[in-house]
Amino acid sequence: MLRPTVKDIAKNAGVSLATVDRVLNGRPGVRKSTIDAVFKTIDEIGYVRDVGAANLARRREYKLVFVLADGDSQSSAAVENKINEIISGPSTERTVLEVIKAPEGDLHKVANILNSLRKKNYDGVAIMAPETPLVRDAILHLKEAGVSVVTLVSDIPDSGRDHYVGIDNVAAGRIAGFLMSRFLGQQGGKVLVTSGSMRLRDSVERRLGFDSYILDKNQPVNALATVEGHDSIEILTNAVSNALLLHPDIRGFYSVGAGIPALLALLRGTERMESAIVIAHDLTPQTREGLENETIDAVIAQNVGHMVRSAIRVLKAVSDGSQIDPAQELIRIDIVLKENLFNWS
């Protein structure tokens, strides 16, 4: 038979349309027993709400905002581009998207922005920001105000966020460990791990995963202490230079976060570049170029388009309390090599 409608519920349950409507939309004035009866019929006849018609009727518009505030301008730029692509693209189904960028490194500003959002009755907020107590509190407040919240790329646990949209960074680090081991071969060697800043949770988790793989598998890889840039290219460059002098026998480089251009600049031209294995995270113009000219051997990435679309879907679903498809929302860890680079846009 045709797809059942509210009328079918009313008929089968022996109640009026108005009562069905009250039950479906959680309005008061219905006896418990009647509510149960209605739900029972819904189950029996297999009614599913026509979301299109419902949205039409309630003139629903989802107001969503992306707050981008991580230190690494490259990866948040990729996210921003994707959002703008979606905004300007066709078929923005009852969704109004907005992007707010926080000045790099200013974490008080981030919290202020989040707090200011409470008053503007947004339906959902997607946050890409370092994990700090201020930010965590701001998220808690947003949740109290009834706003849906997801964290993007880097999770902020215990903040009450509804969902984390991004890859499992520990697992990503393990994959880096696997690739590094394989690419270095049986002889293994020293590996330098670099990071733009270890303040972002994802960097820390990736390093953790990398080490745990090396340890678990008992690989002949000697991973040196993380060289950190503290959000400054200069500091990173100096630190890497020192490490290179100190360890002339480094055979591999693993960049867990930003700072790949600085690293490549130091390596370029040296005879080390030829033989060294370089593994990085996130597809940016720089890492893309690195893959193309074979200065980078592998990039561990996440599909930014999928992430942004997933964030939107999840925020909408949380907003109207409907289910999400976990399989569809799982962000996969992608391994990008020169050979499948064309696959990513």
Partner DNA sequence: TCCTACATGAGTTACGTACCTCATGTCTAT
Partner DNA sequence: ATAGACATGAGGTACGTAACTCATGTAGGA
Contact positions vs DNA (CB under 7 A): 2-3, 5-7, 14-19, 21-22, 24-25, 28-31, 33-34, 47, 49-50, 53-54, 56-59
Helix ranges restricted to H, 89-200 = 107-117, 133-144, 169-184
Among residues 7, 16, 40, 93, the one that binds its own copies under rule CB under 8 A:
93
Q: Nearest to residue 334, comparing CAs of 301, 306, 310?
A: 301
The count of residues in the chain is 345
CB of 12 to DNA, least distance (A): 12
CB of 203 to its own copies, least distance (A): 19
Kindly report the backbone phi and psi dihedral angles of residue 184, in degrees, each rounded to the nearest multiple of 5, phi listed first. -70, -30
Element (H, E) at 79: helix 73-88
Toward its own copies, which CB reaches closer, 174 or 207?
Answer: 174
Element (H, E) at 52: helix 51-58
Residue 344 found at the interface with its own copies (CB under 8 A): yes
Q: Report the distance separating Cα 272 and Cα 84, nearest Å.
A: 40
Among residues 43, 271, 274, 339, the one that binds its own copies under rule CB under 8 A:
339
Toward its own copies, which CB reaches closer, 161 or 174?
Answer: 174
Toward DNA, which CB reaches closer, 31 or 119?
Answer: 31
Query: Which partner in its own copies, DNA, none is near 330 (CB below 5 to 8 A by kind)?
Result: its own copies
Toward its own copies, which CB reaches closer, 136 or 207?
Answer: 207
Helix (H, G, I), strand (E, B) or coil at 303: coil
Q: DSSP per residue over 233-301, as a string?
A: HHHHHHHHHHHHHH-TTEEEEEE-SS-HHHHHHHHTTSTHHHH-EEEEES--HHHHHHHHTTS--EEEE
Query: Which partner in its own copies, DNA, none is near 337 (CB below 5 to 8 A by kind)?
Result: its own copies
Among residues 18, 51, 87, 215, the one that binds its own copies under rule CB under 8 A:
51
Pairing relation of β-strands 298-302 and 333-336? antiparallel
Query: Which partner in its own copies, DNA, none is near 45 (CB below 5 to 8 A by kind)?
Result: none
**Of residues 200-219, those binding its own copies (CB under 8 A):** 213
Toward DNA, which CB reaches closer, 40 or 108?
Answer: 40
Q: Report the distance separating Cα 82 and Cα 93, nearest Å.
A: 16
Both tokens assigned to 305: 């388009």
Query: Which partner in DNA, its own copies, none is near 16 (CB below 5 to 8 A by kind)?
Result: DNA
Residue 39 found at the interface with its own copies (CB under 8 A): no
Question: Is residue 126 within 8 Å of 66, Cβ to Cβ?
Answer: yes
Among residues 81, 84, 242, 343, the one that binds its own copies under rule CB under 8 A:
343
Among residues 94, 108, 120, 268, the one that binds its own copies under rule CB under 8 A:
94
